Amino acid sequence: MKKASLLVVVLLMLVAIPATVFLVGRNQELRKRAAPATSLSLTPSSINKKVGDVFSVEVTIDTGPNQVVAAELHLVFDPTKLEAQTITNGSLFPNILASGIVDRGTASITVGAASATKPVTGTGATAVVKFKALDKTDAPISIRFAANTFVGSLGEGSNNVLTGTTPASVTITGTGGIGGAPIATPSGALTQTTPTPTIPSGQTPKPTPTPVLLTPTPTKSASPSAQASVSAVLITAPAKDSSVTKTTPTISGKAAPGATITITIYSTPQTVVVTADASGNWSYTPVTPLDPGPHNVVATATSLTGGTQTTTTSFVVAAGGQAGATQSAQPVSGTVAPTYILLAVAVLLLISGVAVPLIIR
Amino acid sequence: MANFLEQNTSPKLNTIVSTIALLAFLPLLLFGVYQAVVIISRATGTPANIVVDASNVLEPIRTDFYHAFAQGGEESKDMLAPVVSEVRALNPQLIRLDHLYDHYDVVGRSGNDLTFNFSKLDAAVDTILATGAKPLLALSFMPSAIARGGKIIDPPNNWDEWALVVQRTIEHYSGKNGKNLSGIYYEVWNEPDLDQFGSWKLSGDKNYLTLYRYAATGAGRAQNVNFFLLGGPATTGLYQNWILALVLSGNRLDFLSWHSYLSNPKTFNDDQRNVISWLLPYPQYTLLPKLITEFGFTGGKSTGYSSMYAAAHTAATIRQLISGRPTYAFTFQLIDGPGQKSGDGWGLITHQDNGKRQKPRYWVFNFLDIMVGNRLALSGEGTWVTGFSTIRDGTIRVMLTNFDSGGNHVETVPVSWNNLNPGNYTYRERFLLGRDVTFKETVTNFDRRIARQVYMPAQSVAILELTRQP
């Protein structure tokens, strides 16, 4: 009886071991086949644009056999050539789980399926990113996925099922959009204030009212000698971030002699064209008084040889400083109450030090 | 002058006067220094310069997620009954009720058996239903009939009895033979991490996971019931260890919840990012509904709740949550408790003993509803002034709010709309509980742009509306 039992156990083991090995192998094979199958790509994969153009790029997912519930997307690109303006979810992912963030050289968003019972399968749009072409490229640049991009799928635990990504190639030429004007890299807060007018067909292209660095930044395409003077433009007054009391402040600067300077004033839009004198000096005094508050000035110089350069400055028209102001005085920020309090404290201290001893005496 | 004083006053008098002067003005000096620091720190912020791109249409924006409200238990009775019409006007989707088992006498004991009497709680639930909302029932606190030592913040003598309490509650409200409600949220406990509510931990004798496990057991035993959701942990804040402990506990989990009392609205957005990042490695839980079942700018009582401060904070918080939002965010709370005539209660409405008056925060929810639509690209938000833009039926709207947690920042904000279709527009500028003015604007084919300067007083909420004339 014992021998029979032993025989049964041995036979069971002989059957069970290969069966177990086979099933584990199958399981690994299934996982191996499923896990690596999801990929992300950018559509279109090859992009040709002109400086100033705004265009959309779609993040496309191919889930393969995976049941995707969420995708955390991180895109990186050259911030001197491209500016991401917005990023939002694509049609395949109805949920925005973490709102989109666009920054210098990066764009990110986390999107999700409708629910865990309705995971995403197939191919389609995960997100849509809107870019602006900032500067022409010497060679194609890429928009690519950062290494921390993550795609989660049901049944795959904490594995990142994303194994393949395809970047987009972008070529930017400097001959269109805004008339070929080279644009310096937008900086800090100014990038958030960029107005982007669309130029209707048939109209003369106007300078892009893009606030840029005050100091002209030479572009890579300009030769060293050309950068120096041919199309350089500077605004010398009002000084950057200064406060002026006149509502019609004179805007002046330097450019190449004979250059044409197109001046646009925001936030009370006025556009004029002036010509630099033989010494390169130019100036303009607004005819219409400017509203109290902050203003940006964009000046684009076109030299006699056709080269262009753009620069900007910003200043504040102090409220109530000049007759003709069209708006009542309103502080840009802050209040005067703390100042009054501090003054009161100072007066009280003065009284305590001088008057009180005299009174007591 | 010094010689004159020295000659005409005694040294003793000099000392006394100097000491008194020092003592009298030291607080003023400190106050002055504090104000100087405040001014300097404020100067480091960024003013807003809002730019809306009318051609860049983004995702749809929902406005129902903030039509959720929580009511605390400052009175052990149906507190909403006196303000049903006022609450109904808020168009509430969900109203949260806690103190189920210590204010409404639900559970009793007869020998070894438990007895259940839902009549008092039914009245409160019926009031919620009368406002047009569904109830979210926070399963709290421990019925004294089963609690160890009768203490409502302690574990029960027998965990199975806690499971039975939960089972019977769910069967009563979600049961097809009971109130027959569908889609009810049952939240396990209220602020379990708070001393006041038991100081539950994630291990040991007062283990929240045990509390939750037996609640899930009771939910699983509920018979003949409609669809309902069970979740937690309803902590005082969003805590990674609590969220992940619950996720990994293996219990039934239909939603995650927490409370947020944060003065900085941007932290609400950070919380959403954090919870998603924690859940991404657990795909079956990533998409769970997420409920902020209480929120405000402080968990303490404050007169700010009676002013525009709370309204602006709410608007600024909603702005932070419009994209990447929770399923619901519950404003705490609907009505003040009694004896809060100083105005420091959390309520949107003062207590009936104090006139049942709507406070400024009451009006913000419906005011913002007009923002429903597709989001438009908006840039240039500042440190204090934030906002978002939408478009619906051709009308472009911008919501702006100036919220300064310090209390008095004002700002004149440049606002421009780019890429507009040429034509004549009506520009309407209206403030919550403030001015409402309309202007005419013309957009030319050349610049396709409108620019305005909007003066934003401290703690203000505005909606700017551009409508193209036919």
Tell me, what's the pLDDT at B153?
A: 98
Residue A208 confidence (pLDDT) above 50 = no
pLDDT value at residue B5: 56
Q: Residue A254 has what pLDDT? A: 87
pLDDT of residue B93 exceeding 70, the answer is: yes
Nearest to B298 by CA among B260, B337, B267: B260
* Cα–Cα distance measured from residue B465 to residue B443, given in angstroms and rounded to the nearest whole number: 15
Q: Which of A6, A338, A356 is nearest to B23 (CA)?
A: A356
Report chain A's mean pLDDT, rounded to a whole number.
Answer: 73
Per-residue pLDDT at A344: 76
**Which residues, numbered 402 to 461 in chain B, qualify as contacts with chain A under a Cβ-Cβ cut-off of 8 Å?**
408-412, 414, 416, 418-419, 445-449, 451, 453, 455, 458
Same domain, B187 and B295: yes
Do B13 and B35 fall within a single domain? yes
Tokens 């906002």 belong to B387
Q: Are residues B301 and B182 in the same domain?
A: yes
Cβ contact (<8 Å) for B283 and A333?
no
Closest to B284 in 3D by CA, of A322, A358, A69? A69
Pick the CATH number of A188-197+205-317 from 2.60.40.10, 1.10.15.40, 1.10.10.60, 3.30.110.40: 2.60.40.10
Q: Which whole number is the average pLDDT over B77-103? A: 98
Q: Are strands A68-76 and A106-112 parallel, antiparallel or unpaired?
A: antiparallel
A1 pLDDT above the threshold of 80 = no
Within this chain, do residues B166 and B204 fall inside the same structural domain, yes or no? Answer: yes
Mean pLDDT of A75-93: 97
DSSP B93: S
Whether residue A116 and residue B283 make contact (CB cut-off 8 A), yes or no, is yes
Specify whether B288 is located in the same domain as B298.
yes
Half-sphere exposure of B436 (CA within 13 A, CB side): 3
Write B144-149 long-range contacts (CB < 8 A, 24+).
B144/B102, B145/B107, B145/B108, B145/B109, B145/B114, B146/B107, B146/B109, B146/B114
Is CATH 2.60.40.680 correct for A36-173?
yes
In the predicted model, is pLDDT for residue A144 greater than 80?
Answer: yes
Whether the per-residue pLDDT at A235 is higher than 90: the answer is no
Contact residues on chain A for B11, CB-CB shorter than 8 A: none
Query: Which residues does residue B424 pair with via DSSP β-bridges, in sequence order?
Result: B442
Name which of B10, B12, B49, B386 to mutate to probe chain A: the one with the most chain A Cβ atoms within 10 A of its Cβ. B49
The pLDDT, as a whole number, for residue B100 is: 98
Give the model's pLDDT for residue A174: 85
Average pLDDT, chain B: 95
pLDDT band at A39, cuts 50/70/90? very high
Integer-rounded Cα Rg, in Å, for chain B is 27
Whole-number percent of chain B with pLDDT over 70: 96
Residue window 44-73, chain A: list those with CB within 8 Å of chain B.
69-70, 72
B374 to chain A, any CB pair closer than 8 A? The answer is no
Do residue B190 and residue B305 come from a single domain?
Answer: yes
Q: What does the alpha-carbon distance between residue A273 and residue A261 come to, in Å, rounded to a whole number?
A: 6
Looking at the fold, whether B112 and B172 belong to one and the same domain comes out as yes
In 3D space, the residue among B386, B388, B360, B385 whose CA is nearest the CA of residue B372 turns out to be B388
Q: Could you tell me the residue range of the domain that residue B14 belongs to? A: 2-40
Give the chain B residue nearest A205 (alpha carbons): B446
Q: Where does B263-356 show beta strands of DSSP type E?
A: 290-296, 328-332
Note the pLDDT of residue A29: 47
- What pLDDT does residue B79 have? 98
For chain A positions 194-223, those within 8 Å of chain B (CB to CB) are 194-198, 200, 203, 206
Confidence of residue A325 (pLDDT cuts 50, 70, 90): very low
Select the more confidently predicted residue: A6 or B445: B445
Q: Strand, helix or coil at B29?
A: helix
B72 and B54 fall within a common domain? no
What is the DSSP secondary-structure string of A128-157?
EEEEEE-S--SS-EEEEE-TT-EEEETTST
Res B20: pLDDT = 80
A50, A77, A134, A195 from A82: Cα distances, Å: 11, 7, 5, 16
Query: What's the CATH number where B284 sits?
Result: 3.20.20.80
Residue A113 has pLDDT above 90, yes or no: yes
A272 near B CB under 8 A: no
Q: Tokens 């050289």 — which residue?
A: A105
**CB within 8 Å: A293 and B445:** no
Lowest mean pLDDT among A80-94, A334-348, B142-156: A334-348
Answer yes or no: do B296 and B402 share one domain.
no
Task: Name chain A contacts of B36, Cβ cutoff 8 Å.
Answer: 338, 342
Same domain, B412 and B444: yes
Q: Which residues pair with A144 in a beta bridge?
A: A76
Looking at residue A31, its pLDDT comes to 46
What is the value of ipTM here, to two decimals? 0.89
- Please identify, among B342, B370, B398, the residue that sits at the C-terminal boundary of a domain: B370
At B3, the pLDDT band (50, 70, 90 cuts) reads low
Smallest CA-to-CA distance from A73 within A153, A1, A162, A145 is with A145
Q: What is the pLDDT of residues B16-46, one digit of tens each?
A: 877 887 787 777 777 777 666 656 555 579 9
Pairwise pLDDT comparison (B461 vs A16), residue with the higher score: B461
pLDDT band at A277 (very low <50, low <70, confident <90, very high): confident
Residues of A within 8 A of B418 (CB-CB) are 195-197
pLDDT at A318 over 80: no
Beta bridge partners of residue A75, listed in sequence order: A107, A145
Question: Is residue B382 a contact partner of residue B49, using CB atoms and an 8 Å limit?
Answer: yes
Considering the domain architecture, whether residues B293 and B414 belong to the same structural domain is answered as: no
pLDDT in tens, A115-140: 999 999 999 999 999 999 999 999 99
Residues carrying CATH 2.60.40.680, chain A: 36-173
* A223-226 contacts, C-beta under 8 A, 24 or more apart: A226/A307
Indicate whether B165 and B140 sit together in one domain.
yes
**Total domain count for chain B?**
3
d(CA B468, CA B470) in angstroms, rounded, equals 6
B132 and A CB contact within 8 Å: no
Euclidean distance between CA atoms A121 and A67, whole angstroms:
6
Question: Residue A169, preceding bond cis, omega within 30 degrees?
Answer: no
**pLDDT of A62 strictly over 90:** yes
pLDDT of residue A290: 80
